[in-house]
Structure 1
Amino acid sequence: MGSPLGVLFANFYMGVVKERVFSQIRVPDVYVRYIDDTFVMAPSTQDIDPLRRTFEECCCPRFTVEHGKDGPLPFLDVLISPNPTRFDTSVYIKPTNLSFSLNEDSECPARYKASIIKTSVCRALSHCSSWAATHQELD
């Protein structure tokens, strides 16, 4: 913990665990992982529990499952809404976010102030799957 290599080690460890698990069971149709956060789409919620159990048998960490029931499900900072043929995505902001930002009148360098705006615009453009969602995020 606290080591600059921590993320690298965690990612490597989860990659090894993933290889072990999927040598034993079938890979789900949709499996996306960012370090230890995983998004899986399965035909039913009953198909998720054997996957979680197999992961726990192959490694030390315990896994939690959050089911999406015909509604949007957050994954990292993306809100994923299932549709019959695709996923609609938008920016996800946690309910605990107070939306505070750097004060415009602060003594901070101008490039930091500009980077806040640039980051918000880039996030809206990269995370939103429709122009309506992008415009809503930019507003």
Structure 2
Amino acid sequence: MAMGSPLGVLFANFYMSIVEERVFSKIPCPPQYYRYTDDTFVRVNSEEDLEKLRTTFEECAILHFTCERSVDGALPFLDVQVQQTPMGYTTTVYKKPTNLGLCPNGSNECPDRYKKSVVEAFRLGPEGLSASRTDIVTNP
């Protein structure tokens, strides 16, 4: 499957759905479990629960699964920094340290719908990612 193919996301979601069904027939689903394609955000009760989840996923799939743990209650998930608070979670825009702020050249061979998506993301800005208007102003 070619990288960036629209079918790639479809097949990844299909495969991960099958794996999840197998995993959660063996162990209970964590209290919070969110997945976007192959990235998951999970809250578990202990390190042992996290390791059991990871190893069960590996037993049920042909993939290798890695875990990133929160630091001081914060964890980046996709382009969002999720911060745990006493009242739940807050979100702010997250930029990877390797992000140079570059976007694809408009004359490349990328499909037009992807180019339009990039332009739309720049037009809308970070408002869809942040729970705070202050963050949007301080992190343009």
Q: TM-score range by the shorter chain?
A: 0.7 to 0.9
Residue 55 of structure 2 corresponds to residue 84 of structure 1: no
2:66 is equivalent to residue 75 of structure 1: no
**1:83-121, Cα deviation, whole Å (9 max, x unpaired):** 12211111111111112358xxx9xxxxx8xx74x5235
Aligned residue number for residue 11 of structure 2: 9
Distance 1:123 1:40, change over 3 A: farther
Q: Which residue of 2 aligns with 1:27?
A: 29
* Equivalenced residues, count: 130
Quote the residue 2:40 is aligned against: 38
Q: Alignment partner for residue 49 of structure 1, among 48, 51, 66? A: 51
Question: In structure 2, what is the Cα distance between the partners aligned to 1:22 and 1:5?
Answer: 26
SS of equivalent residue, structure 1 residue 129: coil
Distance, in Å, in 1 between the alignment partners of 2:126 and 2:26 is 39
| Segments ≥4 residues shifted beyond 3 Å | none
Relative to structure 1, is the Cα distance of residues 82 and 121 closer, same or farther in structure 2, using a 3 angstrom cutoff?
farther
Superposed CA deviations along residues 16-52 of structure 1, whole A, max 9, x for unmatched, are 1011111111111110101111110112222200000
Report % sequence identity: 46
Aligned equivalent of 2:112: none
In the alignment, which of 116, 119, 135 is matched to residue 121 of structure 2?
119
Question: Quick one: distance in 1 between partners of 2:134 and 2:48?
Answer: 34
**Residues in 2 aligned to 1:72 and 1:80: alpha-carbon distance in whole angstroms:** 6
SS in 2 for 1:87: strand
Ranges in structure 2 where 5+ consecutive residues have no aligned partner: 107-114
Among 48, 62, 65, the residue aligned to 2:64: 62
What is the TM-score when the length of structure 2 is the normalising length?
0.80
TM-score by length of 1: 0.81
Consecutive unaligned residues of structure 1, counting only runs of 5 or more, are 107-111
How far apart, in 1, do the equivalents of 2:81 and 2:127 lie?
A: 14
